[in-house]
Structure 1
Amino acid sequence: MNIFHHLFRPFGYLSIKGVNGKVIYDWFIPLALTVISLAFFLIIKFPFSDLYKDGGLIKLLSSFISNLPGFYIAALAAIATFNRKQIDYPLINDNGNPYIYVKGVKENGRPYYSKEDLTRRLFLCMLFSFLTALSILIIVTNAFLSPVIMSVNNNIGFFLYASIFLFFTWQLLVSTFFGLYYLGDRIHMNK
């Protein structure tokens, strides 16, 4: 069980509590953008099967996303080794300090959970770790499922897979912009 906890820990970013608007960034904005994207394709009567063809949206986005993990890993390394004391200040929110629950094992072998306040460094490391994992997951999942969807050749399948793919792609892009905002602006504020 511990192995799965470790393997999926990059997605622990989604379990961060106490950051204003994080639920909106993580779930509502990507969902709204997915609905808008799908509505656009439905309004213009664009066949969803064309999204999977060469030059189609899913193929183009997949090739773009396949370039991102290297950049995310570089950002993660830079954040982890950034030598400025302000990056180790705690995150401050209107409602107190944002936090996560950390799983550990006591000497007697019993698991426990402890609440840990987030620093700016930990928050950004978790964010870019999540972005790296999500981009790899999108690439690998698309590599396996896209040929399956094409071979089934079913309009409902095309629509469902496009919905899922677009949601995770929008989630990746919105979280990337959130990370860029934080790195480019918020991290330089001393309080």
Structure 2
Amino acid sequence: MFDKLLKPLCYIKIYHPEKRWFDYYLPLILSIIICAVLYYLPVPVVFVGKDSLISVVNGILQILSGFYIASMAAVATFNKAGMDDPMSGQPPTLYGKPLTRRNFLTYLFGYLAFMSIFMYFAGGFVQLAGKSILQIAAEFHELTKYIFVAVYMVFICNILTTTALGMHFLIDRVHRGGSKFVD
């Protein structure tokens, strides 16, 4: 049962050396930069509540989750030669097997849909429990707040960088012609 519920997370298990940049390194770098900017702003940014960071991000996640589901459906039914062939160059692999472009993009957009819905509900919970969270956080050092914001931003930046990867494939790679034999 859990295997079926968590199937979109198989995207994380896909191996390709360049993919690590989109999944881990870039989101981490971006979240550190964002948190540093937020920390040093002269007027503090509100993280929880009305017109807060989480409310703005949740507004965007509402839109993106539908886009990801529509993209996944489009990729699954996209009728173009080469979509079901193994990807050229060093193809990404899942459990040691090379993926087709259709497989890869379906996993990618399934993961993005799952993560955007998950982060939407996580943000919603934080919004609803904001006063309690702020009371608990007040007992800890001020830096603790930024650690939680950094973790949140790593997930959000992961969604953004993975979205950029998906857009690259939809804009460029899907429509690029491969080499063909000429008789």
**Equivalent of residue 127 in structure 2, options 129, 146, 162:** 146
SS at match of 1:97: coil
Q: Deviations over 1:34-83 (max 9, x none)?
A: 000110111225546x1213112221111111111111111111100011
1:28 aligned to 25, 28, 36, which one? 25
**Letter of the aligned partner of 2:84 in structure 1?**
D
- Report the aligned-residue RMSD: 1.7
Aligned residue for 1:88, secondary structure, equals coil
**How many pairs were matched up?**
172
Q: CA deviation at 1:116?
A: 2.4
2:82 to 79, 82, 86: 86
Deviation at 1:157, TM superposition (A): 5.0
Counterpart position of 1:104: none
Deviation at 1:146, TM superposition (A): 3.3
Q: Does 1:174 align with 2:168?
A: no
Unaligned runs of 5+ in 1: 102-114
Aligned partners of 2:85 and 2:100 also within 8 Å: yes
Give the counterpart of 2:67 among 65, 71, 79: 71
Q: Are residues 38 and 46 of structure 1, via their aligned partners in 2, closer, same or farther at CA, if it must alter by over 3 Å?
A: farther
Normalised by the length of structure 2, the TM-score is: 0.86
Within 5 Å, which residues of 2 pair with 1:60-139?
A: 60-93=56-89, 96-101=90-95, 115-139=96-120
Partner Cα separation in structure 2 for residue 35 and residue 123 of structure 1:
29
Opposite residue 188 of structure 1, the aligned amino acid is H
1:8 matches 2:33:
no
| Long gaps (5+) in structure 2 | 179-183
SS of residue in 2 equivalent to 1:89 = coil
Distance 1:121 1:145 in 2: 36
Tell me the distance in 1 between the aligned counterparts of 2:27 and 2:127.
Answer: 21
How far 1:143 moved relative to its partner?
1.4
Q: Match of 2:145, as an amino acid?
A: F
How far, CA to CA, are the matches of 1:62 and 1:150 in structure 2? 18
Once the two structures are aligned, what percentage of the paired residues are identical?
Answer: 30
Alignment TM-score, normalising by the size of structure 1: 0.82
Aligned match of 2:50: 54
- Asked if 1 retains the 8 angstrom alpha-carbon contact of 2:48 and 2:126, the reply is no
Q: Distance in 2 between matches of 1:87 and 1:167?
A: 31
The alpha carbon displacement at 1:152 in A equals 3.1
